[in-house]
Protein backbone atom coordinates (compact mmCIF):
# COMPACT_ATOMS: atom_id res chain seq x y z
CA UNK A 1 0.00 0.00 0.00
CA UNK A 2 1.48 3.34 -1.07
CA UNK A 3 2.12 5.99 1.54
CA UNK A 4 -0.20 9.00 1.42
CA UNK A 5 1.63 12.25 2.01
CA UNK A 6 0.41 15.85 2.22
CA UNK A 7 2.05 19.19 1.49
CA UNK A 8 1.33 22.83 2.23
CA UNK A 9 3.25 25.85 0.89
CA UNK A 10 3.10 28.75 3.33
CA UNK A 11 4.26 32.30 2.63
CA UNK A 12 5.28 34.35 5.66
CA UNK A 13 4.97 38.10 5.22
CA UNK A 14 5.02 41.17 7.42
CA UNK A 15 6.88 44.40 8.00
CA UNK A 16 10.62 44.29 8.78
CA UNK A 17 11.42 42.89 12.23
CA UNK A 18 7.99 41.34 12.73
CA UNK A 19 9.41 37.94 13.71
CA UNK A 20 9.24 36.11 10.37
CA UNK A 21 12.69 34.55 10.55
CA UNK A 22 12.30 33.63 14.23
CA UNK A 23 9.06 31.80 13.46
CA UNK A 24 10.54 29.79 10.58
CA UNK A 25 13.74 28.97 12.46
CA UNK A 26 11.83 27.76 15.51
CA UNK A 27 9.51 25.48 13.53
CA UNK A 28 12.13 23.84 11.31
CA UNK A 29 14.56 23.86 14.25
CA UNK A 30 17.40 25.26 12.14
CA UNK A 31 18.75 28.82 11.70
CA UNK A 32 17.84 29.27 8.04
CA UNK A 33 17.39 33.05 8.35
CA UNK A 34 19.20 35.85 10.14
CA UNK A 35 17.56 36.79 13.43
CA UNK A 36 18.48 40.23 14.71
CA UNK A 37 16.93 43.01 16.77
CA UNK A 38 17.64 45.23 13.77
CA UNK A 39 15.00 45.53 11.06
CA UNK A 40 15.46 44.52 7.41
CA UNK A 41 17.71 41.53 8.04
CA UNK A 42 16.16 39.13 5.50
CA UNK A 43 16.85 40.03 1.85
CA UNK A 44 16.22 36.78 0.02
CA UNK A 45 13.28 34.46 -0.41
CA UNK A 46 14.21 31.44 1.71
CA UNK A 47 12.41 28.11 2.01
CA UNK A 48 12.28 26.44 5.41
CA UNK A 49 11.09 22.82 5.32
CA UNK A 50 9.21 21.08 8.13
CA UNK A 51 8.51 17.36 7.68
CA UNK A 52 6.77 15.14 10.21
CA UNK A 53 5.37 11.71 9.32
CA UNK A 54 3.10 12.24 6.28
CA UNK A 55 3.08 16.06 6.41
CA UNK A 56 5.52 18.47 4.75
CA UNK A 57 5.18 22.23 5.22
CA UNK A 58 7.32 24.50 3.06
CA UNK A 59 7.69 27.94 4.63
CA UNK A 60 8.69 30.75 2.30
CA UNK A 61 10.38 33.42 4.44
CA UNK A 62 10.41 36.76 2.63
CA UNK A 63 12.05 40.15 3.11
CA UNK A 64 9.96 42.53 5.17
CA UNK A 65 7.70 44.83 3.16
CA UNK A 66 9.55 48.17 2.83
CA UNK A 67 8.55 51.73 2.23
CA UNK A 68 9.68 52.79 -1.25
CA UNK A 69 13.13 54.32 -0.72
CA UNK A 70 15.29 53.19 -3.65
CA UNK A 71 15.66 50.49 -6.30
CA UNK A 72 16.72 47.94 -3.70
CA UNK A 73 13.52 48.40 -1.66
CA UNK A 74 11.59 47.88 -4.92
CA UNK A 75 13.47 44.60 -5.50
CA UNK A 76 12.77 43.41 -1.95
CA UNK A 77 9.07 44.25 -2.23
CA UNK A 78 8.88 42.42 -5.56
CA UNK A 79 10.40 39.39 -3.82
CA UNK A 80 7.57 39.55 -1.28
CA UNK A 81 4.93 39.51 -4.02
CA UNK A 82 6.74 36.81 -6.03
CA UNK A 83 6.66 34.60 -2.93
CA UNK A 84 2.86 34.44 -3.14
CA UNK A 85 2.85 32.49 -6.41
CA UNK A 86 1.76 28.89 -5.89
CA UNK A 87 1.13 29.46 -2.20
CA UNK A 88 -1.59 27.59 -0.27
CA UNK A 89 -1.63 29.80 2.82
CA UNK A 90 -0.36 33.23 3.91
CA UNK A 91 0.77 33.94 7.45
CA UNK A 92 0.64 37.70 8.03
CA UNK A 93 2.88 38.50 11.00
CA UNK A 94 2.41 41.53 13.23
CA UNK A 95 4.18 42.19 16.57
CA UNK A 96 1.72 42.43 19.44
CA UNK A 97 3.39 45.63 20.70
CA UNK A 98 3.26 47.59 17.42
CA UNK A 99 0.55 49.85 16.04
CA UNK A 100 -1.06 48.95 12.72
CA UNK A 101 0.29 51.75 10.52
CA UNK A 102 -0.32 52.73 6.91
CA UNK A 103 2.47 50.48 5.61
CA UNK A 104 0.84 47.52 7.38
CA UNK A 105 -2.48 48.42 5.77
CA UNK A 106 -0.83 48.71 2.34
CA UNK A 107 0.70 45.26 2.75
CA UNK A 108 -2.69 43.82 3.69
CA UNK A 109 -4.29 45.39 0.61
CA UNK A 110 -1.80 43.50 -1.56
CA UNK A 111 -3.08 40.16 -0.19
CA UNK A 112 -6.73 41.11 0.43
CA UNK A 113 -8.01 38.91 -2.40
CA UNK A 114 -6.02 35.88 -1.27
CA UNK A 115 -8.48 33.38 0.22
CA UNK A 116 -6.35 31.50 2.75
CA UNK A 117 -4.66 33.86 5.18
CA UNK A 118 -4.10 33.95 8.92
CA UNK A 119 -2.90 36.88 11.03
CA UNK A 120 -0.23 35.94 13.55
CA UNK A 121 0.46 38.14 16.57
CA UNK A 122 4.15 37.66 17.35
CA UNK A 123 6.47 38.43 20.27
CA UNK A 124 4.00 37.24 22.90
CA UNK A 125 6.94 36.83 25.30
CA UNK A 126 6.93 40.62 25.71
CA UNK A 127 5.00 41.87 28.72
CA UNK A 128 1.65 42.60 27.10
CA UNK A 129 -1.59 42.45 29.07
CA UNK A 130 -4.64 40.53 27.88
CA UNK A 131 -6.52 43.73 27.10
CA UNK A 132 -3.87 44.89 24.63
CA UNK A 133 -3.62 41.41 23.14
CA UNK A 134 -7.37 41.29 22.54
CA UNK A 135 -7.36 44.82 21.15
CA UNK A 136 -4.65 43.94 18.62
CA UNK A 137 -6.55 40.80 17.60
CA UNK A 138 -9.70 42.86 17.03
CA UNK A 139 -7.75 45.44 15.00
CA UNK A 140 -6.45 42.70 12.71
CA UNK A 141 -9.95 41.28 12.30
CA UNK A 142 -11.18 44.75 11.33
CA UNK A 143 -8.41 44.82 8.75
CA UNK A 144 -9.96 41.72 7.16
CA UNK A 145 -8.64 38.58 8.85
CA UNK A 146 -11.13 35.92 9.91
CA UNK A 147 -8.56 34.13 12.05
CA UNK A 148 -5.94 35.63 14.37
CA UNK A 149 -3.47 33.45 16.28
CA UNK A 150 -0.61 34.17 18.66
CA UNK A 151 2.96 32.90 18.35
CA UNK A 152 6.06 33.00 20.49
CA UNK A 153 9.28 31.05 20.15
CA UNK A 154 9.20 30.82 23.96
CA UNK A 155 5.93 28.89 24.10
CA UNK A 156 5.95 25.42 22.50
CA UNK A 157 2.15 25.29 22.63
CA UNK A 158 1.86 28.11 20.08
CA UNK A 159 4.12 26.17 17.68
CA UNK A 160 2.00 23.02 17.97
CA UNK A 161 -1.23 25.00 17.55
CA UNK A 162 0.10 26.73 14.42
CA UNK A 163 1.29 23.49 12.81
CA UNK A 164 -2.11 21.90 13.49
CA UNK A 165 -3.88 24.85 11.87
CA UNK A 166 -1.58 24.83 8.81
CA UNK A 167 -2.22 21.10 8.43
CA UNK A 168 -5.87 21.91 7.68
CA UNK A 169 -4.71 23.58 4.44
CA UNK A 170 -2.45 20.71 3.32
CA UNK A 171 -3.35 18.66 0.24
CA UNK A 172 -2.45 15.16 -0.87
CA UNK A 173 0.76 15.13 -2.91
CA UNK A 174 4.26 13.74 -3.01
CA UNK A 175 6.80 15.58 -0.88
CA UNK A 176 8.65 18.28 -2.83
CA UNK A 177 11.83 17.92 -0.76
CA UNK A 178 13.72 15.05 0.86
CA UNK A 179 12.48 14.41 4.37
CA UNK A 180 15.84 15.21 5.99
CA UNK A 181 16.13 18.67 4.40
CA UNK A 182 15.35 21.81 6.41
CA UNK A 183 16.04 24.34 3.66
CA UNK A 184 16.54 24.68 -0.09
CA UNK A 185 19.48 27.05 0.23
CA UNK A 186 23.15 26.22 -0.40
CA UNK A 187 26.07 26.25 2.04
CA UNK A 188 27.47 29.30 0.24
CA UNK A 189 24.22 31.13 0.94
CA UNK A 190 24.45 30.45 4.68
CA UNK A 191 28.09 31.52 4.78
CA UNK A 192 27.14 34.80 3.10
CA UNK A 193 24.27 35.32 5.53
CA UNK A 194 26.46 34.65 8.57
CA UNK A 195 28.98 37.26 7.43
CA UNK A 196 26.14 39.72 6.82
CA UNK A 197 24.75 38.93 10.27
CA UNK A 198 28.04 39.96 11.87
CA UNK A 199 28.07 43.17 9.85
CA UNK A 200 24.65 43.90 11.35
CA UNK A 201 25.83 43.05 14.85
CA UNK A 202 28.94 45.24 14.74
CA UNK A 203 28.05 48.24 12.57
CA UNK A 204 25.57 51.02 13.24
CA UNK A 205 22.85 52.97 11.46
CA UNK A 206 22.49 52.50 7.71
CA UNK A 207 25.99 51.11 7.04
CA UNK A 208 25.26 47.34 7.43
CA UNK A 209 22.04 47.72 5.43
CA UNK A 210 24.08 49.19 2.58
CA UNK A 211 26.59 46.33 2.57
CA UNK A 212 26.41 43.33 0.26
CA UNK A 213 28.41 40.11 0.64
CA UNK A 214 29.64 37.95 -2.24
CA UNK A 215 31.35 34.58 -1.70
CA UNK A 216 34.19 34.58 -4.22
CA UNK A 217 35.66 31.18 -3.35
CA UNK A 218 34.59 28.15 -1.30
CA UNK A 219 37.27 25.47 -1.42
CA UNK A 220 37.34 22.07 0.28
CA UNK A 221 40.56 21.05 -1.49
CA UNK A 222 42.45 20.88 1.80
CA UNK A 223 41.32 18.00 4.02
CA UNK A 224 42.17 19.94 7.19
CA UNK A 225 40.05 23.05 6.60
CA UNK A 226 37.60 24.83 4.29
CA UNK A 227 38.92 28.02 2.73
CA UNK A 228 36.41 30.80 2.09
CA UNK A 229 37.06 34.12 0.38
CA UNK A 230 34.40 36.82 0.63
CA UNK A 231 34.04 40.38 -0.60
CA UNK A 232 32.05 42.90 1.41
CA UNK A 233 30.78 45.68 -0.84
CA UNK A 234 30.05 49.06 0.73
CA UNK A 235 27.92 51.68 -0.99
CA UNK A 236 29.99 54.75 -0.12
CA UNK A 237 33.68 55.57 0.10
CA UNK A 238 33.12 56.95 3.60
CA UNK A 239 31.82 53.56 4.77
CA UNK A 240 35.00 51.65 3.89
CA UNK A 241 37.21 52.86 6.78
CA UNK A 242 34.32 52.25 9.22
CA UNK A 243 33.91 48.62 8.11
CA UNK A 244 37.68 48.04 8.13
CA UNK A 245 38.21 49.91 11.40
CA UNK A 246 41.36 51.32 12.95
CA UNK A 247 44.22 49.05 11.92
CA UNK A 248 41.72 46.58 10.47
CA UNK A 249 40.29 45.78 13.92
CA UNK A 250 36.61 46.04 12.97
CA UNK A 251 36.98 43.77 9.93
CA UNK A 252 38.94 41.34 12.10
CA UNK A 253 36.16 41.36 14.72
CA UNK A 254 33.48 40.77 12.07
CA UNK A 255 35.55 38.00 10.50
CA UNK A 256 36.31 36.25 13.79
CA UNK A 257 32.66 36.20 14.84
CA UNK A 258 31.56 34.96 11.42
CA UNK A 259 34.30 32.32 11.24
CA UNK A 260 33.36 30.82 14.61
CA UNK A 261 29.70 30.62 13.63
CA UNK A 262 30.53 29.07 10.24
CA UNK A 263 32.78 26.49 11.95
CA UNK A 264 29.90 25.57 14.26
CA UNK A 265 27.50 25.28 11.32
CA UNK A 266 29.79 23.19 9.12
CA UNK A 267 31.58 21.32 11.92
CA UNK A 268 34.92 22.04 10.28
CA UNK A 269 37.92 24.32 10.67
CA UNK A 270 37.45 27.44 8.53
CA UNK A 271 39.96 29.83 7.01
CA UNK A 272 37.94 32.96 6.23
CA UNK A 273 39.43 35.80 4.20
CA UNK A 274 37.33 38.96 3.93
CA UNK A 275 38.09 42.02 1.85
CA UNK A 276 36.13 45.26 1.49
CA UNK A 277 35.45 47.06 -1.79
CA UNK A 278 33.44 50.12 -2.80
CA UNK A 279 30.46 49.68 -5.13
CA UNK A 280 29.06 53.20 -5.27
CA UNK A 281 25.33 53.42 -4.48
CA UNK A 282 24.77 49.81 -5.57
CA UNK A 283 21.37 49.78 -3.86
CA UNK A 284 20.09 52.48 -6.25
CA UNK A 285 21.17 50.74 -9.46
CA UNK A 286 19.13 47.79 -10.76
CA UNK A 287 22.03 46.34 -12.76
CA UNK A 288 24.38 46.44 -9.76
CA UNK A 289 21.72 44.87 -7.52
CA UNK A 290 21.39 41.91 -9.92
CA UNK A 291 25.16 41.45 -10.18
CA UNK A 292 25.31 41.21 -6.38
CA UNK A 293 22.82 38.35 -6.49
CA UNK A 294 19.53 40.02 -5.56
Residue ranges of the chain assigned to CATH 3.40.50.300? 6-172
Residue ranges of the chain assigned to CATH 3.30.300.20? 187-291
3-state secondary structure of 48: strand
pLDDT value of residue 80:
56
**Per-residue pLDDT for 120 more than 60?**
yes
pLDDT value of residue 58:
93
Rounded CA-CA distance 274/219 in Å is 15
Check whether 141 is labelled as a binding-site residue. Answer: no
Element (H, E) at 28: helix 20-28
* Torsion sign over Cα 131, 136, 142, 144: negative
Check whether 63 is labelled as a binding-site residue. Answer: yes
Check whether 122 is labelled as a binding-site residue. Answer: yes
pLDDT value of residue 3:
79
Rounded CA-CA distance 135/133 in Å is 5
pLDDT value of residue 214:
96
**Per-residue pLDDT for 246 more than 90?**
yes
Check whether 150 is labelled as a binding-site residue. Answer: no
CB 81: neighbour CB atoms within 10 A?
A: 14
What single DSSP character describes residue 183? Answer: B
Residue 265 contacts residue 223 (beta carbons within 8 Å): no
Check whether 108 is labelled as a binding-site residue. Answer: no
pLDDT value of residue 66:
43
Give the model's confidence band at 131: pLDDT under 50 very low, under 70 low, under 90 confident, else very high. Answer: confident
Check whether 134 is labelled as a binding-site residue. Answer: no
pLDDT value of residue 39:
46
Check whether 17 is labelled as a binding-site residue. Answer: yes
Check whether 124 is labelled as a binding-site residue. Answer: yes
| Average pLDDT, integer, range 151-180 | 92
| Average pLDDT, integer, range 69-85 | 59
How buried is residue 105: exposed, middle or buried, by Cβ count under 10 Å (0-12/13-18/19+)?
A: exposed
Check whether 144 is labelled as a binding-site residue. Answer: no
Rounded CA-CA distance 39/89 in Å is 24
Check whether 51 is labelled as a binding-site residue. Answer: no
Assign domain 187-291 to its CATH superfamily.
Answer: K homology (KH) domain (3.30.300.20)
Rounded CA-CA distance 22/240 in Å is 31
Check whether 67 is labelled as a binding-site residue. Answer: no
Q: Which of 126-135, 155-164, 171-180, 232-241 has the lowest mean pLDDT?
A: 126-135
Give the model's confidence band at 63: pLDDT under 50 very low, under 70 low, under 90 confident, else very high. Answer: low
pLDDT value of residue 185:
84
Residue 79 contacts residue 30 (beta carbons within 8 Å): no
Of the chain, the percentage scoring pLDDT greater than 90 comes to 55
Mean pLDDT taken over the chain: 87
pLDDT value of residue 14:
87
Which residues, at least 6 apart from 256, have a Cβ–Cβ distance to it below 8 Å? none
Check whether 256 is labelled as a binding-site residue. Answer: no
Check whether 130 is labelled as a binding-site residue. Answer: no
**Per-residue pLDDT for 92 more than 80?**
yes
pLDDT value of residue 251:
98
Check whether 61 is labelled as a binding-site residue. Answer: yes
Assign domain 6-172 to its CATH superfamily.
Answer: P-loop containing nucleotide triphosphate hydrolases (3.40.50.300)
Rounded CA-CA distance 286/294 in Å is 9
Check whether 200 is labelled as a binding-site residue. Answer: no
Amino acid sequence: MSRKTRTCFVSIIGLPNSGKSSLVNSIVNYPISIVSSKAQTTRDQINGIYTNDDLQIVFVDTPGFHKKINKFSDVLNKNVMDALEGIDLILFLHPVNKFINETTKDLFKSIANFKNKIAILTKLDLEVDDQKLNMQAQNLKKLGFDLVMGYSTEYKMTKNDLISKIEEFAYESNFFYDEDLTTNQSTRFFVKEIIRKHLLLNLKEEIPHQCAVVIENFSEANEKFIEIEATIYVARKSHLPIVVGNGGKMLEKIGTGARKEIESLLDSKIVLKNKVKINNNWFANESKIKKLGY
